[in-house]
Amino acid sequence: MPVELKKVSKKDALKKFMDSCKSLPNPESQLIAILHKAQEINGYLNKELMDDIALEMNIPTAHIWGVATFYHYFKLVPQGKHSISVCLGTACYVKGAEEVLNTIRSELKVNFGQTTEDGLFTLQEARCLGACGLAPVIMIDDRIYGELTPKKVIEILNTYRK
């Protein structure tokens, strides 16, 4: 007879993690780990999650927001299916990163930190993706695209739209 797995809600999963943090000495020091877990579970951090963490861990919400907004790693808005990082490091900048960026902005109608209306892309800024020899460079998810022109960028975006 198959074993039926109990469905665990996002809130339950986060509460379980926070409970384990509470058993550690100085539980408030686990805030970053808790925020990581919350983002892993939910995809991004929103007000409801922050309030839950504040209540559960007895930490002021303002402090939690301060930490979440300080680190670029934490996302405060829903993320798109694909993450686009546009490199604005020196090598990319002198080789035309601004033109690439403007093409992406006008094609997707988003700015840094925003997600397209269809939820497909989130646009982010990067400072050197470690592929300066291919400048200008963007990264979509884990894949690097180099030697870009506005035309090439549009072609690449279209492959993700199919």
SS3 84: strand
Sheet holding 138-140: strands in order across? 121-126, 82-87, 138-140, 143-145
Please name the residues in contact with 70: beta carbons below 8 A apart, sequence gap of 6 or more: none
Residue (40 or 147) nearer to ligand FES, CB: 147
Residue (14 or 87) nearer to ligand FES, CB: 87
CA 42 – CA 69 distance, rounded (Å): 17
State yes or no: residue 135 binds ligand FES (CB under 6 A): yes
Question: Least distance (Å) from ligand FES to the CB of residue 80?
Answer: 22
Q: Which residues between 62 and 121 bind ligand FES (CB under 6 A)?
A: 87, 89-92
State yes or no: residue 53 binds ligand FES (CB under 6 A): no
The site for ligand FES (CB under 6 A) is made up of 87, 89-92, 128-132, 135, 137
